[in-house]
Structures are given as structure tokens and as C-alpha cells.
Amino acid sequence: RRCNLTACSSKMHPMWQGPLAVPGGDRQSPIDIVVRKSVLDTELKPLKTTYDPKTCQQIWNNGYSFLVEYDDTTDKNTLKGGPLQDTFRLCQFHFHWGETNDWGSEHTVDRRLFPAELHLVHWNADRYSLFEEAVMEDNGLAVIGVFLKVGKRHEGLQKLVDALPTIRHKDSVVEFTCFDPGCLLPANTDDYWTYHGSLTTPPLTESVTWIVMKQHIEVSHDQLAVFRSLLFTSAEEEVQKSMVNNFRVQQPLRGRTVRSSFT
């Protein structure tokens, strides 16, 4: 089970001991997705993603997670359809994970925890010209969430896993090219839940249309163990802290409806 709040907060990175909910925030993320309370919306379309591996630029440790960043100055990496009216551009993807395989995801499904969760972060390029603008607007971002389970090795992930030891410390960056983020999506991307929420790390802005995949992907125990070899701390700091439990606790639904694209 996910550790209880007090235990977790003692082990968790200071950042997550911060505001558990934004004062006045009524659409915070992550949440528990209660399947039987989600509402089928037959208007929801299939997701359409187009990603160009050649636009992958770098991988870096930002002290909260590790990010794989893409060139988002053109429409080479787009997300359309699903609950979205506009065209969104991928800017980065990252993960959240636990110190053990028993917890680590940010969203849960009927309180079920997964060992990790992938976030593919996109911004509304039809309405804004920069990510930094879009992140402050209520229809600015669309994040695809994919749950990870421990099982067979994920061949596509290995190239990324092999790069992690080169960015162990906070603020380390290395060039990272030719990576197709599409290889991290589950086979079925037609079945998802969607709701209006927020960033799960500061500035916690309520600008995200969340699209959480029903189908998970599998990674091996060893691959996930390499995530845990990363550090929250920079090379200069005397005490090194393992980058684990970098998830936010679940937030109140505040009357929001979670829609599903499937029954």
C-alpha cells in the first residue's frame, strides 16, 4: 500500500511536503479514478499521436524526475483527437515512481497503485506560441498518463535506461537523440479516462486536460531499479538523496466528473 501521509512525508522529497492542495484549487491532480463513477462519453474520439524520433534533443535530471525533451518549435510531434479540440505539441515526457514496486504512480484506479507512471506533456499550439504561456491557461496543456507494471523488459525503454547513469545528479544534461515516445504508449490507446486537472508539481497550475490510459505498459524490475539509482541532489551536495517517491498525494475531486472513452 502507499505509505500513509505522515510516513510518506517524512521519506518524501521536501517538494512533496509542500502545499498538498493549492489554496482555492478546485481542479488539482493527481486523483483516484473511481471506475464505476466515470461517465462514458460517446463523443470522445480516438487519440491521434504523431511523433518524430529525430526531434528528440536531450535527457536531463531536473531534481524532481528525469525529462526527455523534444523540439517543439514545429508541428512534428502532435497530439489531436480524444477530448481535445485543438492540436497539442509534445514538449517532454518524464516519469514518477516509488522506492518499491508497491507504489509510485500519481493517479490510481479504484485505489490501485502502480509502481510508476509516465507523463507525456503537450501544449496547445493552436492558441499559444510557447509552452510557458500555455502552462498558465486552463486549456493550455494535455498530458497523457500511462501506468507502468513490473513484468517483461521493455525493449524500447532500454536506450533511455542506459542513459540514466550519465544524468545521476540534479541539473545534469546529456544529448539524447532518435527516441520515439510512441514506443512507450500501450497497444490500445482508444480506452482512456479524461478529466480537467493540474500540474502535479509546482507551480501546480490548473491548465491540464488529463488523458489517463486504461492499458498499462510493462517494464522489467531491473529497468525500474535504474530509475531509483538517480539522485534528487546535485553533485556538490554532501548528502545524496535517491530519487524515489517523486509522486504527489491524491487530491480531492471537488465535484469533477471523470469521463471514459469506453464501457
Ligand X SMILES: NCCOCCOCCNC(=O)c1ccc(S(N)(=O)=O)cc1
Stretch that binds ligand X, among 75-83, 122-130, 161-169, 200-208 (CB under 6 A): 200-208
**Which CB, 121 or 217, lies closer to ligand X?**
121
Q: How far is the CB of 154 from ligand X (least distance, A)?
A: 20
Q: Judge whether 114 and 148 are in contact, CB under 8 Å.
A: yes
Looking at 2, 27, 80, 119, which residue binds Zn ion (CB under 5 A)? Answer: 119
Q: How far is the CB of 5 from ligand X (least distance, A)?
A: 19
Among 177, 235, 209, 215, smallest CA distance to 58 is for 177
C-alpha pair distances (Å), 33 with each of 45, 116, 139, 192, 211:
20, 16, 21, 11, 12
Q: How far is the CB of 104 from ligand X (least distance, A)?
A: 13
**Which CB, 87 or 251, lies closer to ligand X?**
251
What span, in angstroms and rounded, lies between the C-alpha atoms of 201 and 247?
9
Determine how β-strand 88-97 pairs with β-strand 116-124: antiparallel
CA 58 and chain centroid, separation: 17
Looking at 18, 151, 165, 203, which residue binds ligand X (CB under 6 A)? Answer: 203
Q: Judge whether 94 and 58 are in contact, CB under 8 Å.
A: no
Stretch that binds ligand X, among 2-10, 15-23, 69-77, 199-207 (CB under 6 A): 199-207
What span, in angstroms and rounded, lies between the C-alpha atoms of 198 and 209?
8
Q: Counting every residue, how long is the chain?
A: 263
- All cell numbers assigned to 180: 520515439
Determine how β-strand 208-213 pairs with β-strand 141-150: parallel
Stretch that binds Zn ion, among 9-17, 75-83, 114-122, 181-189 (CB under 5 A): 114-122
Q: How far is the CB of 153 from ligand X (least distance, A)?
A: 25
Residue type, 100: T
Among 62, 12, 84, 10, smallest CA distance to 261 is for 84
Is residue 98 classed as helix, strand or coil in its secondary structure? coil
Question: Does 2 engage in binding with Zn ion (CB under 5 A)?
Answer: no
Question: Does 13 engage in binding with Zn ion (CB under 5 A)?
Answer: no
Q: How far is the CB of 204 from ligand X (least distance, A)?
A: 8
Question: Does 207 engage in binding with ligand X (CB under 6 A)?
Answer: no
Looking at 201, 207, 233, 246, which residue binds ligand X (CB under 6 A)? Answer: 201
Partner whose binding site includes residue 110, from Zn ion, ligand X, none (CB under 5 to 8 Å by kind): none
Binding mask 139-178 toward ligand X (x if CB under 6 A, else -) reads ----x-----------------------------------
C-alpha pair distances (Å), 140 with each of 45, 121, 125:
19, 11, 9
Q: Judge whether 44 and 220 are in contact, CB under 8 Å.
A: no
Question: Does 200 engage in binding with ligand X (CB under 6 A)?
Answer: yes
Number of residues that bind ligand X (CB under 6 A): 9
Binding site for Zn ion (CB under 5 A): 119
Site residues for ligand X per CB under 6 A: 119, 121, 132, 135, 143, 199-201, 203
